[in-house]
């Protein structure tokens, strides 16, 4: 990102407790400590407690310590063909485990689109200052990138900053973004793969909004329980508001004999869509209420603020 001139947080790599403490004191609270290893979306600690930050750093072989980025987070996907890219809808997910953005970080407990509060021109700005510079730098290095580029952003008081990149669709944002995509996805991905995206063609989107609620296993994110039988009740005929739709997507599930059982931390996604966020949110929670298994839980405030009147 530095080579490409992409705006992001200041960061230092630490491999010893002394290095970590020096970096943490340099950046100050809130402290951001990232395990420099595969961590299934749970390797980041954000805390105001220096002792907690130091303990996480000590538990990891190598960590990246970053400047804290204030402001809301946004995810933007772009499909790239090696030279340029086409953006999908911007979405917001909820990383913390508990309502009110409390508790430990997770892989994501829910998401929604669209973002009624996002500044006008956000997507165009991100494509110009983040996505295109990233593609240009990769091409300059002889490694042109074709595929899905996920950009995690913070809309800080100092402007847009990149939190992370991924070379894949993001979970759970994908569930709501693809719910709204009317353009056939297969053709878009094929054009990316063969290096022939028509960036002048606008993608078609279904009107309205989508919300997804992640139903998690007992013990998630630390040690999720597995093997619990899942019961999915019939949706009452009047459960979904008029003009809405709702369905379940499987994530951490498996078959054991004739039973559907839990096999991961984030077990199911309840997806709702409707004319606006309030309707989509009501549909998603109506679907979530049909799922039962021992210790299953989910956040109750996904898209609550964004869907509130005014």
**pTM of the predicted structure, to 2 decimals:** 0.88
223 with 300, same domain?
A: yes
Final residue belonging to a domain, choices 44, 66, 88: 66
If you average pLDDT over residues 108-119, what whole number do you get? 97
Q: Name the strand (E) or helix (H) holding 194.
A: none
CATH code at position 146:
3.30.470.20
Task: Phi first, then psi: give them for residue 243, nearest 5 degrees.
Answer: 80, 10
Number of folded domains in the chain? Answer: 3
Q: Which of 169, 192, 221 is the last residue of a domain?
A: 169
- Short-list 1, 4, 53, CA closest to 24: 53
Sequence-separated (6 or more) residues with CB below 8 Å from residue 299: 94, 97, 98, 99, 109, 110, 213, 214
Q: What is the model's pLDDT at position 37?
A: 87
pLDDT, tens only, 76-91: 999 999 999 999 999 9
Q: Which domain holds residue 77?
A: 73-169
Share of the chain above pLDDT 70, in %: 99
pLDDT above 80 (res 201):
no
- For 30-51, write each residue's pLDDT tens digit: 999 999 988 766 688 999 999 9
Co-location of 93 and 149 in the same domain: yes
CA–CA gap between residue 58 and residue 208 (Å, rounded): 46
CA gap 141, 30 in Å, rounded: 35
pLDDT at 114 over 90: yes
Distance of CA 264 to the CA centre of its chain: 17
**Alpha-carbon span 51 to 55, nearest angstrom:** 6
Kindly state the tokens that stand for 107: 């892989």
Does the pLDDT at position 274 exceed 70?
yes
Does residue 200 lie in a domain region?
no
CATH number of the domain bearing residue 61: 3.30.1490.20
Same domain, 244 and 292: yes
């Amino acid at each position: 990102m530095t080579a490409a001139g992409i705006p992001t947080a200041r960061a230092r790599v630490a491999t010893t407790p002394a290095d970590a403490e020096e970096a943490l004191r340099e950046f100050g609270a809130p402290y951001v400590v990232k395990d420099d290893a595969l961590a299934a979306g749970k390797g980041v600690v954000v805390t105001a407690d220096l002792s907690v930050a130091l303990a996480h750093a000590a538990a990891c072989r190598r960590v990246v310590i970053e400047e804290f980025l204030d402001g809301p987070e946004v995810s933007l996907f772009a499909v790239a063909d090696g030279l340029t890219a086409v953006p999908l809808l911007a979405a917001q997910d909820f990383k913390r485990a508990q309502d009110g953005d409390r508790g430990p970080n997770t892989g994501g407990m829910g998401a929604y689109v669209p973002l009624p509060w996002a500044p006008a021109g956000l997507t165009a700005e991100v494509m110009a200052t983040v996505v295109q510079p990233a593609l240009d730098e990769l091409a300059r290095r002889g490694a042109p990138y074709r595929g899905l580029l996920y950009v995690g952003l913070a809309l800080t008081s100092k402007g847009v900053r990149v939190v992370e990149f991924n070379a894949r669709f993001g979970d759970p944002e994908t569930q709501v973004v693809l719910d709204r995509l009317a353009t056939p996805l297969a053709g878009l991905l094929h054009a990316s793969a063969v290096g022939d995206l028509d960036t002048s063609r606008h993608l078609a989107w279904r009107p309205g909004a989508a919300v997804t609620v992640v139903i998690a296993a007992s013990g998630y994110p630390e040690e999720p329980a597995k093997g619990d039988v899942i019961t999915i009740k019939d949706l009452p005929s009047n459960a979904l508001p008029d003009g809405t739709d709702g369905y379940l997507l499987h994530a951490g599930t498996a078959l054991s004999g004739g039973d559907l059982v839990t096999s991961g931390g984030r077990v199911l996604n309840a997806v709702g869509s409707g004319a606006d966020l309030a309707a989509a949110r009501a549909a998603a929670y109506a679907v979530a209420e049909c799922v039962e298994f021992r210790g299953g839980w989910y956040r109750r405030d996904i898209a609550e603020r964004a869907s509130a009147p005014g």
